[in-house]
Structure 1
Amino acid sequence: MYPQHPRPSRVKSAGAHQQGYFAEDTIAAISSGTAGAITVVRISGPAAHAAVEALADSGSMNRNPPRKIFNTNLYARGGQKLDQAMAVYFRGPRSFTGEDMAELYLHGGAVVASGVMAALEVAGIRRALPGEFSFRAVKNGKFDLIRAQASADLIAATSDAAARLALEKMEQGQGKVISGIVKILMDVAVRVEAGLDFSDQEHCGEEAENERARTVVELKKAEAGLLSLKNGYERGRRIQHGIKTALIGLPNAGKSSLFNALVGEDCSIVSDLPGTTRDVLRERITLRGAGQDVALIVEDTAGLHDPSGKVETEGVLRARRAAMAAELLIFVVDPRTTPELAEKIRDEWQSMGAPAHKTIGVVSKCDLVRTAGRRRAKEALLFLDISIWFETAAMTGEGIDRLKAGIADYCGKWVSRDDGEILLTDSAQYDAVSEALEHVGRAVCTKEGELVAADTRRALHALRALAGGDAAGLSEEVLGGIFSRFCIGK
């Protein structure tokens, strides 16, 4: 029986009547994994310090200054001991979120962490939304949205290229480019609006034309910057999130065995029976080539054939949709392909639009045939017009490393980036830049001062989340889209 430890009653947390990211109550979350030696619980908000006092040894907060880690026992409300832990607290605004904060360092393990989180909830502390700590940091001016999103990109990075891109964003490379564009647009808006205010005064035609020419030059400079950002989005997305890749082929061609070999574990069921794979399986992997590493989202699909039954039909439909949506196709063929099977391959290939421009060919199961048989299989499929082929045997590992390196090298053209080149990686940022670009393009093409000013202001409004990162003007829905992909405790 644990000694009874008197606990304070439920903590009052200001702003509890509000909901969502704009709530001003006190939040808590596990901000680390629970499988290691230490688990970290993070608390932020007006009642953060009171929450620690509600769980910790009596007087421990008063005995220790802010920003100094101290040892303490943690207790539930009934007095039962939860853990021998360490704690530290911060006074706002000198904290990550700009609010009063605290962190508890627990012994690793899900049971201890769950017990502490339950005790905090009993004390009136709400479980944080995904990315809510970072949102509060943005809201309180600790850093901007671009840096917040870059930190999420860094955490999620699966390749060196993605990590470097995220770090450059955190160092404000992207912010400086967008701030430069915003400054140009702001100067144009102010100058054009000032001209409208004094439009009743006499101006010679030459002076007005010179002013208009200057405005067009500056707008085109902003337009070029926005266009560069927009055009780089696809490369940035592929670097950060991966290249969409689908393994396709006839049933029993060896796709699932190859999928498992690429992923490095048995994710897909392998069988000699055709049609074993009926749904699309998806895994994210990173492959290293001669020049750089490349992230892929690899999908194992059902064999392409004339299906029988609803389940098979749906599986084949999903496989065809995956093939159409993929940026890279890996066409897998059995080296024992007969003329009859080659005709079936031709039909399926043509139904997909003969996408040789985005396809790598793989002759699988090479451990079952001699070299001549492999050559005959490729010759029988010359109509595919696939220029790059690899020979593999997933069961023995033959050719798998060469295939991985070959895929990475093939994809290098889609993820190449100059040193310091700014690439967007987030669809919301892409949408904002595209909208701003549309407004700037209209402003360039019109001579009416009122319309130039209006479109320039609309472009500035579209860029508001990227320039300075002010979250106050964004809706709850937009904020949810931005921060929902963050870790719960981030």
Structure 2
Amino acid sequence: MLQQEPIAALATAPGIGAIAVIRVSGDKAIEVTNRIFRGKNLLEQPSHTVHFGTIRDTENVIIDEVLVAVFRSPASFTKEDVVEISCHGSDYIIRQILRLLLKEGVRMAQPGEFTQRAFLNGQFDLVQAEAVADLIAADSEATHRTALTQLRGGFSKKLKELRQQLIDFAALIELELDFGEEDVEFARRDDLRRLVLAIQRVLRPLIDSFSVGNAIKNGVPTVIVGKPNAGKSTLLNALLNEEKAIVSNIPGTTRDLIEDELFIDGIRFRFIDTAGLREATDAIEAIGVERTKQQLAKASIVIYLFDAAEMELSELSEIEQDLQQRAVPYLLVANKTDKLAQDELHNWQLHFGDQLVPIQANTGKNIPEMTQQLVRFVKTNAQTSSNTVVTNMRHFEHLSQTEAALSRVLDGLDTDVSPDWLVMDIRDALRHLGELTGEITTDDLLETIFSRFCIGK
């Protein structure tokens, strides 16, 4: 394996801290570090060992006491020789150590260059490489779990196996083209159909999981809607445990969207308080109502909040029918239930079952039960979609394009098209699968992906 020129960067977050880690990777990374290190001779040390010593400048002045970890190729993150210098987290010390490394011929790393080298050296595929950035950015249990699954191979290993089988079929069909005048068939069409259907069975759950995965990654948009004075702003304040929204008895107080985030059982929810749904009395309120409708169209979960003492059973049934047509999870939340008699509340629950949760937003009663229902919605959808959840738009697009190309292959088999047309659609599917996992790449693609990484990764 060819090692590239040595690069260095701060691998920990910038700023003053107890410890900072400077990573060096590439040709002669160990030798270069050894020139500024005073302690054991790093060139003689085995891989995966840590050594105490000092970093000194050209005049033998001590810069810092450090620990140096040695990782020899190919048993390292980049599969190159790697050294990690753990020093004190002073900006001055970090600058001095990097300055000494640069004097010895090391250059500063570009964003994501360590991970890019790991990918180029075959440490993992492109899906796994992108998962490194997702893992670093993970801010909840759900995003961490999803990124870790992708980092460990996720769906890409299975797709690689199926892609290779499709390559074998494409080669046989192209061989048929060389014997076109002899009417021979090297690739059995029934076997090809079974393979295409097998690949689609893997692709479709992944494609369907994107709506859930994207919500998990960016926060589940949860829209609180209802009539004016139903208690939407009071509910938002109770969820966030702060006075985020203005609460008033005057109908139409909320005229714009109020949004904030809350982590519940490791899942990030984006709660959006909206203007009350009614006939607007002025132009500004009309804009607010229109924005409410726009948020409803983009919601992953809808909370329909209503005043239990003011709502008729028949009216709520009509509202539920409208929510069902939106094809997203919804919750009917009965507020101000202290105004209801016990038998009235029982009648509500008997009619709407688990879809209805009675609460008192002003006291917080039953709000934990409501939030647990929201968590169940997300977890149920994630399990229904796939064991592996797709969160990356690039992955979703390539999976969708692959599925479309394979559908054209099936259409071609049904209509008995000529092998040259069949192989064109197979090649299209192979191209998208290859670009997904990184078996087919361009410099522009790699630059776009790795430029989003932090410098030290």
TM-score where L is the length of structure 2: 0.75
Distance change (3 Å), C-alpha of 1:254 and 1:233: same
| Residue aligning to 1:452 | 422
Cα distance between partner residues in 1 of 2:287 and 2:62:
54
After superposition, where does 1:463-482 map in structure 2 within 5 Å? 463-467=433-437, 469-470=438-439, 473-476=441-444, 478-479=445-446, 482=449
After superposition, where does 1:342-381 map in structure 2 within 5 Å? 355=326, 358-364=329-335, 369-372=338-341
Amino acid at match of 1:285: F
Cα distance between partner residues in 2 of 1:317 and 1:73:
65
Q: Secondary structure at the match of 1:397?
A: coil
Cα distance between partner residues in 2 of 1:429 and 1:68:
38
| Residue aligning to 1:304 | 276
Cα distance between partner residues in 2 of 1:280 and 1:78:
60
Q: What's the CA shift for 1:195?
A: 1.2
After superposition, where does 1:175-254 map in structure 2 within 5 Å? 175-200=156-181, 202-203=182-183, 208=185, 211-238=188-215, 242-250=219-227, 253-254=230-231
| Residue aligning to 1:116 | 94
Do structure 1's residue 390 and structure 2's residue 357 form an aligned pair?
yes
Amino acid at match of 1:358: P
Distance change (3 Å), C-alpha of 1:271 and 1:462: same
- Per-residue CA distance 1:350-392 (angstroms, 9 max, x = gap): 99998596321223466xx44449969x98xx9xx89722233
Q: Secondary structure at the match of 2:371?
A: helix
Cα distance between partner residues in 2 of 1:238 and 1:320:
19
Contact 2:31 2:42 in 1 (8 A): no
| Residue aligning to 2:235 | 258
Cα distance between partner residues in 1 of 2:203 and 2:394:
14
Aligned with 1:41 (options 1, 22, 32): 22
Distance change (3 Å), C-alpha of 1:443 and 1:127: same
Distance change (3 Å), C-alpha of 1:97 and 1:350: same
Cα distance between partner residues in 2 of 1:107 and 1:115:
7
Amino acid at match of 2:409: A
Cα distance between partner residues in 2 of 1:417 and 1:411:
10
Aligned residues with identical type, % of pairs: 26
Amino acid at match of 2:402: A
Q: Secondary structure at the match of 1:463?
A: helix
Cα distance between partner residues in 2 of 1:224 and 1:338:
45
Contact 1:280 1:318 in 2 (8 A): no
Amino acid at match of 1:268: K
Do structure 1's residue 425 and structure 2's residue 391 form an aligned pair?
yes
Q: What's the CA shift for 1:216?
A: 3.7
Q: Secondary structure at the match of 2:123?
A: coil
Aligned with 2:372 (options 405, 411, 418): 405
- Per-residue CA distance 1:101-150 (angstroms, 9 max, x = gap): 32222345xxx257515762694743541x43222211111222233334
Q: What's the CA shift for 1:50?
A: 7.4
Q: Secondary structure at the match of 1:416?
A: helix
Contact 1:51 1:125 in 2 (8 A): no
- Per-residue CA distance 1:405-425 (angstroms, 9 max, x = gap): 22223444312259x944433
| Deviation larger for 207-216 or 90-99 | 207-216
| Residue aligning to 2:401 | 435
Cα distance between partner residues in 1 of 2:323 and 2:294:
9
Q: What's the CA shift for 1:189?
A: 0.7
Contact 2:63 2:97 in 1 (8 A): no
Do structure 1's residue 268 and structure 2's residue 244 form an aligned pair?
yes
Cα distance between partner residues in 2 of 1:41 and 1:113:
12
* Count of aligned pairs: 438
Contact 2:140 2:268 in 1 (8 A): no
Contact 2:257 2:275 in 1 (8 A): no
Q: Secondary structure at the match of 1:465?
A: helix
Do structure 1's residue 28 and structure 2's residue 5 form an aligned pair?
no
Q: Secondary structure at the match of 1:425?
A: coil
| Residue aligning to 1:286 | 264
- Per-residue CA distance 1:201-241 (angstroms, 9 max, x = gap): x34xxx64984444444444434443344344445445555
